[in-house]
Amino acid sequence: MTTRTLRCWFVVHKWTSLVCTLFLLIVCVTGLPLLFSEQIWDTFVGDDEPPYEVLPPGTPNVSLDVIVEKARALYPSQIITNVNPDDDEPAVLVSMAPSWQALKDDDKYPDRNSSHWIKFDARTANVLEQSRPTDAPKEPRTWTGVIMGICNRLHTSLFAYLPGRLFLGLMGGVFVASLVSGTVLYGRFMKRLPFGSVRRDRASRLTWLDLHNLLGAATLIWATVVGFTGLVNELQTPLFGLWRVTDVRQILKPYANLPVPSQDHLSSVQAAFDTAAKAAPGNEVTGLSFPGASFGSPVHYVLWTHGATPLRARLFTPVLVDARTGELTGAYPMPWYLRFLEISRPLHFGDYGGMPLKILWALLDVVVIGVLVSGLVLWAGKRKIATDARLRALGYDLDDAEGAPVSALTGEGAR
């Protein structure tokens, strides 16, 4: 490696690290409570849901049509938007709203929410719980809800919605660049030193440098994966938008100008679930959207299915069933870029291996915070020194001749 090349790598590492450090600290700190969000809610808020009725083992679920009719009877002036069976409990969640237009208005104002839901026992069709409809007084928010909401908004968008998501995605890319450049520098620096050396008998700056390098090398693979998958996750809105204006638009083009039929004259919801299960063999049906939903079809039930194995559980395949006749229109696997997005989610959130993996993710997150802080300390201590002088202070021997080879010292030149 030449002197000029080393200078370039050093400058790239310095500025990519400085540009993204503040935002990475925000993401790392807010990511810790989000990792354990379920445990935090259970501890500080608790579970106020009524207990399930004790029934003989093997009691079958009632037809989803019975549950749909009960929801309509509770709110006859509203429409049903979604029906979602629970994956872990014998429950079905039915979402409702005053109208489709009210939901379109919600899209224009992110803080508005006119929909509500009803949770039914899947075996008896009894109401277990429901959120307050829009005309009821709002429930007071708990401190836990406020804090977790702030963490979520900071972690995903910095309270800036889509521009914030795209900006954090850019910071994820800059972070990956800083990791690559740091790896190149570390390889040269540690060429003649044992891996993991921390020189405590020298200047404190060298100790900070060695700790920074060691922690960075120890978390390199994890940080690269989480940084890159974080970038991909922040692109979900434009990626889904691309899918909607390409594949989805072509699929729904023959039905685009048809009127949305009244929900009183639609075919069986239960039959639509059964049809989707046959159309996507090996998949589980996770939910159904009614005709008229945003980015959906005016005349189709849209049913979402996913694989039954841990790997395929993140791969969704939508199925269209004509809500007027109950006939299958087709199953449409998502394009490769959305499949890549869905697979990247568990790698970023660490939510596919239970509590042990969450603890590991949290520990690695704390170590990365240490890398960021130590990097700031190193920069603050020598920020006014020229690049060559800083390289020598960090343990590199630079030849005066331009383009001459550079070798890492054993520490003699850094005393």
Where does the pLDDT of residue 61 fall: very low under 50, low under 70, confident under 90, or very high at 90 and above?
A: very high
Give the residue-averaged pLDDT of 267-279: 96
- For residue 207, the number of C-alpha atoms closer than 13 Å in the C-beta half-sphere is 5
| Euclidean distance between CA atoms 276 and 303, whole angstroms | 7
The torsion angles phi and psi of 63, rounded to 5 degrees, stand at -65, 140
* Selected residue with higher pLDDT from 349 and 324: 324
Backbone φ, ψ for residue 400 (5° rounding):
-65, -30
Q: What is the pLDDT of residue 44?
A: 80
> Is 75 domain-assigned?
yes
Q: Are residues 271 and 394 in the same domain?
A: no
The residue-averaged pLDDT of 41-54 equals: 74
pTM: 0.78
What pLDDT is attached to residue 408? 33
Of the three residues 349, 365, 382, the one that is the final residue of a domain is 349
Q: Which residue has the higher pLDDT, 412 or 359?
A: 359
The C-alpha atoms of residue 149 and residue 143 are separated, in whole angstroms, by: 10
Calculate what percentage of the chain has a pLDDT beyond 70. 83
Which segment of 32-36, 175-179, 200-204 scores lowest on mean pLDDT? 200-204
d(CA 236, CA 232): 7
pLDDT tens-place string over residues 219-241? 999 999 999 999 999 999 999 98
| CA 30 – CA 159 distance, rounded (Å) | 13
Could you tell me if 109 and 123 lie in one domain?
yes
Average pLDDT over residues 179-199: 76
Please write the tens of the pLDDT for every residue from 241-250.
899 889 999 9
CA neighbours within 13 Å on the CB side: how many for 49? 17
Residue 288 covered by a domain: yes
Q: Are residues 98 and 74 in the same domain?
A: yes
Q: What is the mean pLDDT of the chain?
A: 84
pLDDT digits (tens, 9 = 90+) for 306-320: 987 766 777 889 999
pLDDT value at 66 more than 90: yes
In-domain check, residue 246: no
Claim to verify: residue 311 and residue 394 sit in the same structural domain: no
- Assigned domain for 294 exists: yes
Query: pLDDT at position 413, please?
Result: 35
In a domain, 278, yes or no: yes
What is the average pLDDT across 70-89?
93
The answer to whether the CB of 414 falls within 8 A of the CB of 393 is: yes
Q: Are residues 58 and 204 in the same domain?
A: no
Same domain, 201 and 300: no
Whether the CB-CB separation of 395 and 218 falls below 8 Å is answered with no
Q: At a CB cut-off of 8 Å and minimum separation 6, what does 163 contact?
A: none
Determine what percent of the chain is predicted with pLDDT higher than 90. Answer: 49
User: Of 98 and 3, which is predicted with more confidence?
Assistant: 98
Instruction: Kindly state whether residues 72 and 86 are assigned to the same domain.
Output: yes
The CA-atom distances, in angstroms, between 357 and each of 87, 108, 219, 289, 294 are 21, 38, 15, 33, 36
269, 369: one domain? no
Q: pLDDT digit string (tens) for 120-173?
A: 999 999 999 988 755 445 555 678 888 999 999 999 999 998 999 999 999 999
Q: How many CB atoms lie within 10 A of CB 113?
A: 13
User: Final residue of a domain: which of 306, 331, 349?
Assistant: 349
**Contact criterion met (CB below 8 Å) for 341 and 321:** no
Q: What is the pLDDT of residue 407?
A: 34
**Together in a domain, 217 and 272:** no
- The pLDDT value recorded for residue 196 is 66
Mean pLDDT calculated for residue range 51-66: 89
Residue holding tokens 């700790």? 211
- Both 10 and 42 in one domain: the answer is no
Q: How far apart are CA 337 and CA 43, in angstroms?
A: 38
**Tens digit of pLDDT for each residue in 364-411?**
999 999 999 888 888 876 655 555 565 565 555 555 334 433 333 223
Number of domains observed in the structure of the chain: 2
Domain-embedded: residue 309: yes
Domain boundary among 320, 349, 378: 349
Whether residue 114 lies inside any domain: the answer is: yes
Instruction: Tell me what pLDDT residue 87 has.
Output: 84
- What SS3 string covers the chain? CEHHHHHHHHHHHHHHHHHHHHHHHHHHHHHHHHHCHHHHHHHHCCCCCCCCCCCCCCCCCCCHHHHHHHHHHHCCCCEEEEEEECCCCCEEEEEEECCHHHHHHHHHCCCCCCCEEEEEECCCCCEEEECCCCCCCCCCCCHHHHHHHHHHHHHHHCCCHHHHHHHHHHHHHHHHHHHHHHHHHHHHHCCCCCCCCCCCCCCHHHHHHHHHHHHHHHCHHHHHHHHHHHHHHHCHHHHHHHHHHHHHHHHHHHHCCCCCCCHHHCCCHHHHHHHHHHHCCCEEEEEEECCCCCCCCCCEEEEEEEECCCCHHHCEEEEEEECCCCCEEEECCCCHHHHHHHHHHHHHHCCCCHHHHHHHHHHHHHHHHHHHHHHHHHHHHCCCCCHHHHHHHCCEECCCCCCCECEECCCHHHC
Q: Are residues 72 and 191 in the same domain?
A: no
Is residue 237 in a domain? no
CA distance 16 to 5: 16
Question: Exposed e or buried b for every residue in 57-84, given b needs 16+ CB within 10 A?
Answer: eeeebbebeebbebbbeebeebbbbbbb
Q: Kindly state whether residues 338 and 291 are assigned to the same domain.
A: yes
> Please, which pLDDT band fits residue 211 given cuts at 50, 70 and 90?
confident
Full residue range of the structural domain in which residue 183 is found: 3-24+175-224+351-414
Q: What is the arithmetic mean of pLDDT over 359-365?
A: 94
